[in-house]
A and B are shown apart, each in its own frame.
Chain A
Amino acid sequence: MMPTACSPGQCELPGAYEARQTLIMERNMNSRNMCRNLTVSVLLVALVSCAAFGESFTQSQIKEVLSDFGSYDYGKDPTLTHVIDKIVQFIGDKPRLRLSTEKQMVTLLESKVASRATKQFVCQQLWIIGSDESIPVLGRMLLDTETAEMACYALCSNPSSEVDRVLRYALDRVPDESKVCIINVLGDREDVASVDSLIGLIGAESPQVAQAVAKALGKIGGDKATETVKKARPTTSGDMRAVLTEAYLNCAEGYVDSKQPGKAFAIYTKLLDESESVLTRRAALVGALHTGDTRAADLLIATMQQDESILRSVAIANSAVLKGTDVTRRLITEFKTAAAPTQAQLIEALVQRDDPLVKDVVKAAARSKDASVRVAAYNALAEIGDTSTVALLCDALEKAVTSTEVDAVLSSLRRVEGEQISEAILDTISNASSPADTQLIQVISSRGYTPAVHRLLQLCRSEDIPVAKAALRAIGILASYQTMTRLLDVLAELQDRAVQSQALRATAAVINRSDSDREDIAQLIQERLGSTEDITVRCSLLQLLSAVPNEVSLRFLNAASEDSNLSVRDAAIRTLAEYPDPAAMDALLRVFLTSGNRAYRAVALRGCVRLLKAEGTSPEQSVRLYQQLAAHASTAAEKKLILSGLAIVQHSEALGIAQDLMSEDAVKTEAALALITIAHNTAALDPVRAGAAARLILEDLSHSTLHTQARTVIETIGGFVSIFDGRSFAGWEGNVAKTWRVEDGAITAGSLEGQAPRNEFLATTSEYEDFDLRLKFKITGNSRVNAGVQFRTERIPNHHEVSGYQADIGPGVDGHLYDESRRRRMLATPEAETLKKAQAAAGDDGWQTYRICAEGDHIRLWLNGVKTVDYVEKDTNISRTGIIALQIHGGMQAVIAYKDIEIRELPAPQ
């Protein structure tokens, strides 16, 4: 695999890179073919192993590491680079060690034998710690095209002015190939002294050099650089022109930084010329407005009078940078004559100015003929509105046609800050007509204005039903316990059913918020119940009792559930069904067991199941109650309801109830579903009964989802355990130093680069006899792929081979049962058709599954869920126990990974 011929892919590389690549490849091959000269001493191994714990280094240790690093190269073990990273950390605050280390590094850079890789890595460290000490050698390296770039890397951030000197020296002496990087660094360092040299290169033939020069001049700035850029621009086009333009913009920025806004402004003005592209003009405009030059305001106004809408927009968007009321005035003048879209944009910009002059403009704009201007004005009023603008907005709400406008007004009304605002909005309500009223009431409630409750209590008596309902909704949100008496009065007065039920909801909402006063409220409601004869009011009050559950409330409800009046009875039973306390259970049970009314039975049953589902009932109690309910359930609907609750009972007795109901065809599926759910939840508590239930599902039904669930339950009970933790080799042994590694949660071996030197096995430290083993494996690469899973196997003493059964992996042997190092033959070979099926069943992600089942003399293999081997061992001398081991085959040039290794040990067959 030597890269001799130029393949199409390599031809994509520029020639120089290709040559270098090939050179390094060859060198690497040679070094690998030789006995690898790893001079990593014992000391270093110790250093590496403690690398994670903030270790320290002596000067002589550092010297030894760096001297060994001289033989480093691409493709070699990079351990020393990690150690050097640690050394650089360690010496950070130790000036003497820094200097001695840097001197060592300089020696490496001067070395004739050290590889490019060594020098490159050293340069990357000098980027961080290099001082004057390394500048001379780096300066020399700049002169060599092979090392110029790495030297730039080392020098770029070194604050010494000597760096600039060696860069300038090199710039005049290196070929174009090395110039770009040097120029870039000079530019980033803003080296003024290099401007003369750079100017000489602006006309360089190499476009890369010329562009780098332009960029650098822009970064450095100053009169000379600026003049050069300015002169060069008109004669260029395309990329060079774009680069020069940006450089010119940067020159302008440089002038702003050096407090010469006038010069900056002049550049921007030049770039605003109509002959420039819109992109350039936009950038120039933004820059000009930010210069702080006194002419910026004039420019802003002049731009607003231009035809170019993009520039107008940019000017407006950046206008906030120009402070002062004078600018505000001028913008307002422009506003008056501007077209609608510009006006809309201006409103947003004006609001940001925080200038009292703006308010009147916005108020006027809210009456604009143009909808977009009006919407912009409404949005602006959210920021700067006051009580005087509320009427305006409310008025706008009435007149608004489109939903965009309505939304803008409402959002504005919600957002304007101030208590008086809320009061002002509230004042408007009586005067406005109905549709706006309901919206304004909503605004009040989302503003959280609680003083509005008093007024809302009047509004909820309105004949306008939507208004009354909106008011009650708002009361539900804003009112507190103090208003309870009045709310109950309202409840007694209301006639309209819809309004009544809204009032009921509002009252309940208030009660729910008044946690601490609940007992008082309960008393209040109970007193009213005792004194009211009106049926409708009684019904309403009864319904409220579920919000104030206590003994008295329950007594009222119990009594009412047997009231002679049908409405009262109805209200009581329905309230009981929603009652939050399990204490209602007895009453509900009584209704369900004794009532002849089917509707009541249904309501009561729903209440029972709801209470049982809620926390607070023990599983034993639940089972008892469900037994009672099931015994009295008559319709399928009732039984389904019972099953829906039963399913979550964590008690194996519940299985019996569900199982009984499975015999009834009308509810068979629901019962089965409940059964499997209970089995799932109780598998740990009572595996025997849960397992039995799951098997019943498998036998009795042909429902695929239920079957899957049943199998899951059986598997849960079966107790698969993972024998690989996804991170470490805990529980495994083998050549983990060289062959085996953990990658992405998988046990992995092999590489695409080289052949595995010999068979290697990673084995469990435990032995397994009868078991069901499942795992996933994945092969990357396709050269001489062979691997496998050993079981009932033993290691051959003092040897890397093992002896025992193998579930084979590899082309031509996939899914086969092989006897490794023992009888050395295939024990079972699947049919070609079966194998094809198994291979087709492999997942898209490359992972395949193996299942190995060994029970007594019976051995079965499944590849990707397809059974490939069903074998009976006739030879009784063959061991029925042993380790499990994962293989990588010698000669394989591919990567094999194993993961998700789970085993369930089986009891020995009888």
Chain B
Amino acid sequence: MTRRGFLVRSGLAVAVPIFVPAGALGRNGIVAPSERITLGAIGCGNRGLYDLGHFLHEPDVQCLAVCDCWQSRRQKGKGIVDDHHGNSNCKTHRFHEELLASEEIDAVLIATGDRWHAVMSILASRAGKDVYCEKPFCMTISEGRKLVETTQRFGTIWQCGTQRRSNSSYRFVADTVRKGAIGKLHTITMSFGGWGANGIARPEPVPAGFDYDRWLGQAPWVPYSPVRVQHWRQHWDTGAGPIADMGPHFIDTAQWAHDSEYSSAVEYEGQAEFPAGGFANVPSVINVQACYSDGVVIRMNSGNKGVRFDGDQGWIHVDDFGNITPKSMLRDLSVSGVSYHYMAGHVRNFLDCVRSRRQSVSGPEISHRSHTIAHCANLCLRLGRKLRWDPEGERFVNDDDANRMLARTMRTPWGL
């Protein structure tokens, strides 16, 4: 993967807005602007249905189809959609290709396992669909770059499910740091929570109504096991690990506050504990120190979820629920600092962008850059050594092993 995107090449790192009337993409301009945005939902598990609920809550959304490799889940998804629209029109698909081939669909929601996010996002963009995709959106840095290039090429809107971008508390914290209210920023500390161990993945017959082959996707073939299917996040084959799981949220806030959304940290060093004995092979406890080129340090650990910024004149912390400390930071400012409903604003922003054709608040490039930090940290832990990253060339400096891990081969027939 040596090809660089034209925007990077031409020095336009920031996505250029493209003014195209909504609904025109991939449909040869058939749509009236007042029409609802038609949605297809891929992935009807817990998170998928949670996201879908928020989409359906928006009055200008019409969900036309759902897709899942579990028969029962796609049926459940259809039930929710049909109940909402008061009809029985929602189509169900086992294969996302069918859903993406539907000319009626403007936008897709992708809330599958990690390994599918980039593959499906890219396929959807190629089909001219706009995409709301859960995080982590890529398994490797090369997947991330490819997604950025594809959305740029086809001018599709793509939003990462990093809904804290649309949360007033997180916005407040980022603004506060940017304005210099804590003085000169020197350290960012983020905690992702600890991950446990689990049992041994013993092979079992594939249950009825489950397309295991689809479920696996790009991951190397291994026999079905309930432990694997339940705990897929905890294996590098199927998930991107704890840093890439919560990192996209908190790293995104860090990039935002540090005003480096189009770059990444350049040095990574750390240790991890890996759970012994069980199926899991991603770290359970992590401790990584990354460093930006200006010397600002990012510390990542497994404490209670949240992110804290330390400057030479103060600090500010926001937890997973949007609670801000210290309270003195909130004085005279119009932010409640208490928990708030994350999703609505984020989904709304995506839908507005589908209409205005401007790239969303969690667009491809900035999401790719924050995911890059997570993946660099991952590779630093997997290789057990300090890594140096060149955010311009998007390669590790003097580490061939790490550079090999920028991409990996996908199982047939999947590929980018």
Contact in complex: B196, A743 (CB < 8 Å): yes
Contact in complex: B205, A149 (CB < 8 Å): no
Contact in complex: B413, A51 (CB < 8 Å): no
A256 to B133, CA, bound (A): 31
* Residue B48, interface by CB 8 Å: no
* Residue B85, interface by CB 8 Å: no
* Residue B18, interface by CB 8 Å: yes
Interface residues of B in 193-246 (CB under 8 A from A): 196-213, 220-226
Contact flags A39-55 to B (C-beta < 8 A → 1, else 0): 00000000011011010
Given contacts A74-B222, A157-B404, contact A318 B383 (CB under 8 A): no
* Residue A249, interface by CB 8 Å: yes
A330 to B6, CA, bound (A): 24
Contact in complex: A286, B153 (CB < 8 Å): yes
* Residue B294, interface by CB 8 Å: no
Given contacts A320-B12, A753-B202, contact A286 B152 (CB under 8 A): yes
Contact of B18 among A1, A127, A159, A317 (CB under 8 A): A317
A124 to B28, CA, bound (A): 44
Question: Which residues from A are CB-within-8-Å of B407?
Answer: 156-157, 188
Question: Which residues from A are CB-within-8-Å of B10?
Answer: 290, 321
Interface residues of B in 1-51 (CB under 8 A from A): 1-4, 6-7, 9-10, 12, 16-21, 24-26, 28-29
A254 to B9, CA, bound (A): 13
Which residue among A78, A149, A156, A741 has the maximum number of chain B CB atoms within 10 Å of its CB? A78
Q: How far is the CB of B148 from chain A (nearest CB, A)?
A: 13
Contact in complex: A185, B409 (CB < 8 Å): yes
Could you count the A-B residue pairs with CB atoms below 8 Å apart for me: how many are there? 235
A185 to B29, CA, bound (A): 37
Contact of B205 among A1, A211, A318 (CB under 8 A): A1
Question: Which residues from B are CB-within-8-Å of A797?
Answer: none
Contact in complex: B3, A25 (CB < 8 Å): no
A254 to B2, CA, bound (A): 10
Secondary structure at chain A's binding surface: helix, strand, loop or mixed? helix
Contact of A127 among B12, B404, B410, B413 (CB under 8 A): B404
A348 to B17, CA, bound (A): 10
Contact in complex: A256, B6 (CB < 8 Å): yes
Question: Which residues from A are CB-within-8-Å of B2?
Answer: 190
Question: Which residues from B are CB-within-8-Å of A75?
Answer: 200-203, 223, 225
* Residue B276, interface by CB 8 Å: yes
Q: How far is the CB of B387 from chain A (nearest CB, A)?
A: 11
A689 to B410, CA, bound (A): 69
Question: Which residues from B are CB-within-8-Å of A250?
Answer: 3
* Residue B392, interface by CB 8 Å: no
* Residue A345, interface by CB 8 Å: yes
Question: Which residues from A are CB-within-8-Å of B26?
Answer: 277-279
Q: How far is the CB of A629 from chain B (nearest CB, A)?
A: 29
Contact in complex: A127, B408 (CB < 8 Å): yes
* Residue A328, interface by CB 8 Å: no
Q: How far is the CB of B201 from chain A (nearest CB, A)?
A: 7
* Residue A476, interface by CB 8 Å: no
Contact in complex: B3, A253 (CB < 8 Å): yes
Given contacts A77-B277, A310-B24, contact A208 B413 (CB under 8 A): yes
Question: Which residues from A are CB-within-8-Å of B154?
Answer: 279, 282-283
Contact of B196 among A52, A188, A742 (CB under 8 A): A742
A344 to B202, CA, bound (A): 62
Secondary structure at chain B's binding surface: helix, strand, loop or mixed? loop
Q: How far is the CB of A545 from chain B (nearest CB, A)?
A: 23
A10 to B210, CA, bound (A): 8
Given contacts A89-B383, A149-B221, contact A313 B404 (CB under 8 A): no
Interface residues of A in 142-182 (CB under 8 A from B): 149-150, 152-153, 156-159, 177-178, 180-181
A29 to chain B: closest residue by CB: B203
Q: Which stretch (A13-21, A570-578, A590-598) binds chain B?
A: A13-21
Contact of B223 among A24, A82, A282 (CB under 8 A): A24
Contact in complex: B276, A79 (CB < 8 Å): yes
Given contacts A79-B277, A257-B3, A314-B18, contact A181 B212 (CB under 8 A): no
New A-B pairs, 19, CB < 8 Å, besides A25-B203, A152-B409, A156-B408: A7-B205, A12-B206, A13-B211, A13-B213, A14-B213, A28-B223, A52-B274, A77-B277, A127-B409, A128-B405, A157-B403, A278-B26, A310-B29, A320-B12, A320-B16, A321-B10, A345-B19, A743-B196, A752-B226
A residues with a Cβ closer than 8 A to B are: 1, 3, 7-10, 12-14, 17, 20-21, 24-25, 28, 48-49, 51-52, 54, 74-79, 81-82, 85-86, 89-90, 92-93, 117, 120, 124, 127-129, 149-150, 152-153, 156-159, 177-178, 180-181, 184-185, 187-188, 190, 208, 211-212, 215, 219, 242, 246, 249-250, 253-254, 256-257, 277-279, 282-283, 286-287, 290, 309-310, 313-314, 316-318, 320-321, 345, 348, 741-744, 751-754
Pull 21 A–B residue pairs with CB atoms less than 8 Å apart, ordered by A. Answer: A10-B208, A12-B210, A14-B213, A21-B205, A77-B200, A82-B277, A89-B383, A90-B384, A93-B385, A128-B401, A156-B407, A184-B412, A208-B412, A212-B415, A249-B153, A283-B153, A310-B29, A313-B357, A314-B20, A317-B16, A320-B12
Pairs A-B, 6 closest by C-beta atoms: A9-B208, A89-B384, A157-B404, A3-B205, A75-B202, A290-B6
